[in-house]
Structure 1
Amino acid sequence: MTRSRHGFLLAAQTIVMLATSIGFGATQAAATTDEVRNKLARKDCVRGKFANYYREGKGGDPAPEYRGRVFKLSQNYPDQLPPAEQLPWQAIDFKDGAPVDPRAYLQALLDYGLEGNVDVDFYVEDNKVRKWYGMPWMDWNTEVASDWPGTDGREFVHGFTHEFDSSGNTLSTLQRDFVDTWSGAYFNDRAAFGIGQVYCNPDDPKPGALNPDPTALNTFPDGAFIIKLLFSTVTEDQLPTVKNALEWKADVFVNDDPRWRNAGPLERFKRAVGTIRMIQIDVSVRDARSTTGWLLGTFGYDGNAKGDTPWKRMVPLGLQWGNSPKATFAETCTGPNGPCDQSKLTEQWINPQALKELTTAPLNFNHLGYGGRLAGPVDNAKASCMGCHQTAGFPNVAILPEFSANGTLLGLDAERQPQTEQSLRMMYQANVVSGVVFSDTQLYSSDSSLQLSMSLQNFVSLRCAARQPGAAAPQETPSLCTQLARWQVLQRKSIDAVSTFGTPGPDGGPLPTP
């Protein structure tokens, strides 16, 4: 469900190994009760210290003539897990790890995410129905423009982060130039409790405290829910289906071409308040009845659909509760560009009408991902919703094999030969159970939250990196930085051992330890 290539920052990805898909469903794993979470939760947490947007107070603030609203991060995370509501999707039965009516389940998720938020333009702190929250450390974000640290960070109008660049001809044959995607994610109180435990001490996060019970899997509680809005700088001339789309203002890049921006200098990342249009909505929920413990769904905007508001013209594209891990690309698709047989992908539901309408010329919407798996309209077609999100953890790893060091070594080319090297590609389409790390180069699972994963990466990029000459020393080194430094040493030793394993030293004995 994400379309960026973050997770490529750490050298230890030279060896990326899958935490093998565990052969039991989330319903069979012992879940931590709300009572246990509350008993073990820290109650001395400090709140309200996180920045709201990119370079706040350091040159990123609104111009004096700006008269609009300024984004404030909703960050008063609950110290106790709020009681579970009667959530609407829970009324829909499951069978074999899947909802018996996936379309109704998906719609119930959207309705819940929109309730009370539409009325306040998703300034969620004003929601009068229930409380919602944002993710810290997304103000300084390096998700796409890795060479220019922080520049993808939150803008000051709606708190959106820069998430993806779509090159010409990606969304339609009428799109000639790059367009940018900007997004905002919002967490209900059940999810926010876990975030608040990780960041109980805002200067010393504990990634393993997502679940305060250290003897259990590092999961969000059941009923944790996230809704994500994705807006684009695309225009109706470039993409006819965005006619009458919801338009908001945002402080976005003046130039949409990432090639020009990335050539530098930093001034090329200049922003100005401009118009963006809603193009996609993603929803995800922690539901222990699911095969993996999660369900992820996506909607695409269609200006030709029925509905008297843009929100009602969001068309359901699909819902995914597993990756169908035994179905290789060659078994589902006849060639690099399909067509793909959905019948073997048994752990998802795709809206067939949307699939037909959103791929009819001049549209190039390809919301199906790897091997025909679910991916949103502006998502990377090499990926899948669950395939990407199951990689979430700390330290970050690549979300796609093409972005990993192993993919580089193997020369993967998903556009021409996506059916090759299935042993590596299919590790990204396994069913990693909620709360389990994807790779043994990770210390902690972020339980399918790529925003939490990136948030922690953003934290260490500023708080753990070597200080620049003349910079003030932090008051205290975060424990996460110390742990990360030890992890780097051990990863280097592990990599070095590959070439020396079994090599005899003097007199046939072991090699001397450096």
Structure 2
Amino acid sequence: MKALIRSTMYLGLVLLSSQADAACSRFTGSTMKFGGGPAATWRTDYPLEVDTKNAPPWASIDFITEPAKYMDAVLSTVRTDFAVKDDLLVANEKQHNWWISPWMDYTNAGRERRMGLTNERGPKPGDLSPTNRDGYQVWAVGFYNAPGATVFGSIFEDECNPKFPTTVRFPDQTASVKFLFTNASPDEVTYLKGAPEFTAFINPDTAPGQRPEIRPEKREPRTLRLLQVDIAIRDPRADATDWVFGTFIWRGPSKGDRFFDNMVPASLQWGNDPGVYDRGVNQSWVNPVLKGVIFGWNERPFLGFNGRANGPADNLRSSCLSCHSTARSPAGHLRQVDGRFDMDRDYHTEARVREHVDTWFRNIRGNELFLPNEPATTNLDYSLQLDSAIVRLCTACITGELSGPTPEICRGTAFQTTLRGVTKQSRAMCSDNATAARLKATPFSGSRSEFDALTTIELPRQ
């Protein structure tokens, strides 16, 4: 199967009876095996080719002058395809044209059973509201529309041995949507009052100051509430980055369908404002009516750094495009903005702010590499789902959860920059593998704590 894009043709779908049928038969470590009841079955029957000659509803709207209208047009293509049923987010069976990424069901952050959610960055105290405490969790599931799904189909033609083209390029009209949920209390995060509730297998609660139990087998069925919906669109008018990213929040009190009717546009971004070191950004829009609701206090003075677009679940040191621009395979030594930039100490130091902006807030086109001087197989065109999928695949190879021949994608020495705690003998080698035997490699045989360290990879937001 070769998923070449044709603008005027539709050749059909490779139909698979279930998500399980699409999975690599040599993989035994899926995190979706933990917990009870039916497992989520989101679509993985990727289209071969799609018709892109009809313009999507957002194509006629200027995202700079009418950002909220643009975002609502994108959301209009999503809302008919998803529904809430029996405390689950489910597909509209008659019309559901959104596909998930494979290989997201591994590592300690891998998909949980009921809705296929992955564990995301947890909010810090004051991230979601002035009063939210530490220890809350965020879980999410993301999808691509048909044009975007063709790229996944071409790469994962053989899910056990995916192949990258020289350059990954999503076609124009690609759209991605991601639903984010949290167990944060509505008493502390008041805009969550009345939010739809869902049951998912997530990590157990822990006392303040204690390390959480993050092993998938320790997960428990708990209540999550819809927090945020992210969108990403490959739009040819976004000539600085090729992409437009946006975020909605769920804001109570509930109205209408109690789901999409409560989604309020929070921010939209079409560039990273490189070289802008103060709050004078002009390549982002942030909804001013949400000041004091999701940002505007001491711990959260802005959504994204110095007023760039982001959501309440996201790192205020970063932005939507900044985070996703790092997508490449293998990842470089800088993978996500973290606590190395201290908001209390560094934000008030001009040199540190300049260094931070110059490192993370560059306008990178989809066919360009973040950290171009570091070895890489390919760019990933802003797709952190592709990035995370490949990291998980190669991690499963190292730990022995993927048997048989080592995937070609995991063979290069450059891949080692993405993993921690891997011995020289076991790097990127699957167990029961003739190549590994020839190179005298051994499957992972470390302690449980070493295994946890390896499978608790700091994966960026997808």
TM-score (normalised: structure 1): 0.70
Aligned to 1:123: 90
Q: Which structure carries more helix by proportion?
A: 1
Instruction: Tell me which amino acid in the other structure corresponds to 1:301.
Output: W
Is 1:392–2:327 an aligned residue pair? yes
The 8 Å contact of residues 238 and 244 in structure 2, kept in 1 or not, is answered as yes
Instruction: Tell me which amino acid in the other structure corresponds to 2:73.
Output: A
Aligned to 1:351: 287
Q: CA deviation at 1:486?
A: 6.3
Please give the root-mean-square deviation of Cα atoms over the aligned residues, in Å.
3.6
Q: Deviations over 1:190-223 (max 9, x none)?
A: 1110011111111111233xxxxx5xx5210111
Aligned to 1:430: 362
Aligned to 1:220: 170
Is 1:449–2:383 an aligned residue pair? yes
Q: CA deviation at 1:297?
A: 0.3
Aligned to 2:33: 60
Q: Deviations over 1:218-257 (max 9, x none)?
A: 2101111110000000122222221100101101112256
Aligned to 2:429: none
The 8 Å contact of residues 396 and 454 in structure 1, kept in 2 or not, is answered as no
CA distance in 2, matches of 1:172, 1:310: 21
Is 1:34–2:5 an aligned residue pair? yes
Distance 1:203 1:171, change over 3 A: same
Give the secondary structure class of the aligned counterpart of 1:89: coil
* Equivalent residue for 1:151, pick from 108, 131, 154: 108
Aligned to 2:46: 77
Aligned to 2:432: none
Q: CA deviation at 1:38?
A: 8.5
* Equivalent residue for 1:204, pick from 150, 161, 169: 161
Q: Deviations over 1:241-293 (max 9, x none)?
A: 2110010110111225696345x6x7697111111000111001111111211
* Equivalent residue for 2:188, pick from 215, 233, 238: 238
* Equivalent residue for 1:250, pick from 200, 206, 210: 200
CA distance in 2, matches of 1:195, 1:365: 36
Aligned to 2:455: none
Q: CA deviation at 1:365?
A: 6.0
Instruction: Tell me which amino acid in the other structure corresponds to 1:451.
Output: Q
The 8 Å contact of residues 112 and 200 in structure 2, kept in 1 or not, is answered as yes
User: Which of these two proteins has the greater Rg computed from alpha carbons?
Assistant: 1
Distance 1:267 1:317, change over 3 A: closer
Is 1:132–2:98 an aligned residue pair? yes
Is 1:107–2:72 an aligned residue pair? yes
Distance 1:123 1:366, change over 3 A: farther
Q: CA deviation at 1:107?
A: 1.2
Unaligned 5+ segments in structure 1 are: 1-31, 141-149, 209-213, 333-343, 490-514
Q: Deviations over 1:412-465 (max 9, x none)?
A: 4244213433245423101000121111223311111111111111111112x2
Aligned to 2:144: 187
Distance 1:163 1:116, change over 3 A: same
Q: CA deviation at 1:169?
A: 3.6
Is 1:279–2:227 an aligned residue pair? yes
The 8 Å contact of residues 135 and 205 in structure 2, kept in 1 or not, is answered as no
Give the secondary structure class of the aligned counterpart of 1:284: strand
Give the secondary structure class of the aligned counterpart of 1:281: strand
Q: CA deviation at 1:115?
A: 2.1
Give the secondary structure class of the aligned counterpart of 1:179: coil
Instruction: Give identity over the alignment, percent.
Output: 26
Q: Deviations over 1:294-341 (max 9, x none)?
A: 00000112214765523212211111000111211xx32xxxxxxxxx
Instruction: Tell me which amino acid in the other structure corresponds to 2:191.
Output: T
Distance 1:33 1:161, change over 3 A: closer
CA distance in 2, matches of 1:38, 1:198: 20
Aligned to 2:351: 420
Aligned to 1:476: 405
CA distance in 2, matches of 1:305, 1:119: 14
The 8 Å contact of residues 242 and 301 in structure 1, kept in 2 or not, is answered as yes
Instruction: Tell me which amino acid in the other structure corresponds to 1:50.
Output: A
The 8 Å contact of residues 254 and 269 in structure 1, kept in 2 or not, is answered as no
CA distance in 2, matches of 1:59, 1:384: 30
Give the secondary structure class of the aligned counterpart of 1:260: coil
Distance 1:104 1:34, change over 3 A: same
CA distance in 2, matches of 1:171, 1:366: 11
Aligned to 2:309: 374
Instruction: Tell me which amino acid in the other structure corresponds to 1:245.
Output: A
Distance 1:359 1:402, change over 3 A: closer
Q: In terms of mean alpha carbon deviation, does 174-183 or 314-323 score higher?
A: 174-183
Give the secondary structure class of the aligned counterpart of 2:199: strand
Give the secondary structure class of the aligned counterpart of 1:312: helix
Instruction: Tell me which amino acid in the other structure corresponds to 1:152.
Output: A
Unaligned 5+ segments in structure 2 are: 418-462
Q: CA deviation at 1:395?
A: 1.0
The 8 Å contact of residues 305 and 315 in structure 1, kept in 2 or not, is answered as no
Aligned to 1:461: 395
Q: In terms of mean alpha carbon deviation, does 419-428 or 295-304 score higher?
A: 419-428
TM-score (normalised: structure 2): 0.77
Instruction: Tell me which amino acid in the other structure corresponds to 1:161.
Output: T
Aligned to 1:335: none
The 8 Å contact of residues 233 and 245 in structure 2, kept in 1 or not, is answered as yes
The 8 Å contact of residues 337 and 360 in structure 2, kept in 1 or not, is answered as yes
Instruction: Tell me which amino acid in the other structure corresponds to 1:218.
Output: V
Aligned residues: 402
